[in-house]
A and B are shown apart, each in its own frame.
Chain A
Amino acid sequence: MSPNDVLITGIGLVSALGEGVDAHWQKLTADRPQPVTDAERFAPYVVHPLPAIDWGLQIAKRGDQRQMETWQRLGTYAAGLALDDAAIKDEALCATMDMVVAAGGGERDEAVDSGILEASAARNDRGVLLNEKLTTDLRPTLFLAQLSNLLAGNISIVHKVTGSSRTFMGEEGAGVAAVETAAARIRSGQSSHMLVGGAFQTEHHDMLLGYELAGYLHRSPWAPVWQRQGAEGGGLISGSGAAFLVLESREHAEKRGRKAYAQLGTVFSDRIRRQKDDLASGIAALAARAGVADKPMLAISGASGAHAATAAEKQAFDATSGVSLRGFSSIVGHLKEAQFPFAVALAALAVHNRAAYPVFDAEVEKPFDGETGSVLATAVGYHQFEGMARVVAAD
Chain B
Amino acid sequence: MKDHLGRPVVAVTGIGVITSLGVGKKDNWDALTSGRSGIHPITRFPTDHLNTRICGTVDFLETSSKGASPLTYDMAETAAREAIGESGLSSDDFGGPLFLASPPVELDWADRFSLYAAGKNGSAADRVLEIARDLKTLDIFETAQFGSIADRLADTLGTRGLPITLSTACASGATAIQLGVEAIRRGECDRALSIGADGSVTAEALIRFSLLSALSTQNDVPEKASKPFSRDRDGFVIAEGAAALVLESLESAIARGATVLGILRGCGERADDFHRTRSKPDGSPAIAAVRAALSDAGLSENEIGYVNAHGTSTPENDKMEHLSLSTVFGERIRKIPVSSNKSMIGHTLSAAGAVEAAFSLMTMREGVLPPTINYDNPDPAIELDVVPNVKRSADVSTVLSNSFGFGGQNTCLVLAREPV
Binding site for B on A (CB under 8 A): 67, 99, 103-105, 108, 110, 113-114, 117-118, 120-121, 125-128, 130-132, 134-135, 138, 140-144, 146-150, 152-154, 156-157, 160-171, 173-174, 176-177, 180-181, 184-185, 188, 190, 205-206, 208-210, 212-215, 217, 219, 233-234, 269-271, 273, 381, 383-387
Contact = CB atoms under 8 A, between A and B. Distances in A.
Interface of B: 45-50, 102, 104-107, 109, 112-113, 116-117, 123-129, 132-135, 138, 140-141, 144-148, 150-151, 154-155, 161-169, 175, 179, 182, 185-186, 188, 203-204, 207-212, 269-277, 285, 405-409
Contacts of A67: 276
Nearest to B188: A184
Contact of A150 (B102, B186, B406): B406
Given A130-B109, A154-B276, A176-B162, 6 more contacts: A140-B211, A162-B272, A169-B146, A205-B129, A212-B132, A269-B161
A105 B135 contact: no
B162 A157 contact: no
Contact of A215 (B133, B154, B182, B212): B133
B167 A149 contact: yes
Given A176-B162, A269-B162, A132 B408 contact: no
Which of B140, B168, B209 has the most chain A CB within a 10 Å cutoff? B168
Q: Which 7 A-B pairs have the closest CB atoms?
A: A153-B407, A170-B147, A205-B125, A213-B141, A165-B271, A169-B146, A269-B162
Nearest to A114: B124
B117 A121 contact: yes
Contact of A105 (B106, B113, B405): B106
A176 B161 CA distance: 12
Contact of A134 (B186, B203, B272, B276): B203
Contacts of B271: 99, 152-153, 156, 161-165
23 contacts: A113-B124, A126-B109, A132-B49, A143-B209, A150-B407, A153-B406, A153-B409, A162-B270, A162-B273, A162-B285, A166-B166, A167-B167, A170-B145, A170-B150, A170-B163, A173-B147, A174-B147, A206-B107, A214-B135, A219-B133, A383-B145, A385-B162, A387-B162
Contacts of A99: 271
B211 A217 contact: no
A304 to B, nearest CB: 14
Nearest to A45: B129
A144 B406 contact: yes
B147 to A, nearest CB: 3
Contacts of A121: 117
Nearest to A64: B276
A160 B275 CA distance: 11
A383 to B, nearest CB: 7
A149 B285 contact: no
A200 to B, nearest CB: 12
A384 to B, nearest CB: 5
Contacts of B285: 162
Contact of A128 (B48, B133, B182): B48
A127 B276 contact: no
A213 B210 contact: no
Contacts of A387: 162
Given A113-B124, A150-B407, A210 B166 contact: no
Which of A114, A153, A212 has the most chain B CB within a 10 Å cutoff? A153
Given A131-B207, A149-B167, A173-B162, A157 B48 contact: no
A215 B135 contact: yes
B49 A131 contact: yes
Contacts of B117: 120-121
Contacts of B203: 127, 130-131, 134
Contacts of A157: 273-276, 408
B182 to A, nearest CB: 7
B276 A144 contact: yes
Which of A142, A148, A152 has the most chain B CB within a 10 Å cutoff? A148
B270 A164 contact: yes
B141 A167 contact: no
Which of A103, A141, A215, A270 has the most chain B CB within a 10 Å cutoff? A215
A174 B49 contact: no
Contacts of B274: 157
Contacts of A188: 185-186
A322 B182 CA distance: 37
A151 B154 CA distance: 27
B182 A135 contact: no
Contacts of A210: 144-145
A150 B145 contact: no
Contacts of B270: 162-164
Contacts of A270: 161-162
A118 B124 contact: yes
Contacts of B175: 166
A165 B113 CA distance: 36
Contacts of A209: 107, 125, 128-129, 132, 144
Nearest to A67: B276
A295 B275 CA distance: 52
Contacts of A138: 207-208, 211
Nearest to B126: A205
Which of B123, B161, B162, B274 has the most chain A CB within a 10 Å cutoff? B162
A132 B48 contact: yes
A263 B112 CA distance: 46
Contacts of A142: 208
Given A134-B203, A188-B186, A214-B138, A143 B165 contact: no
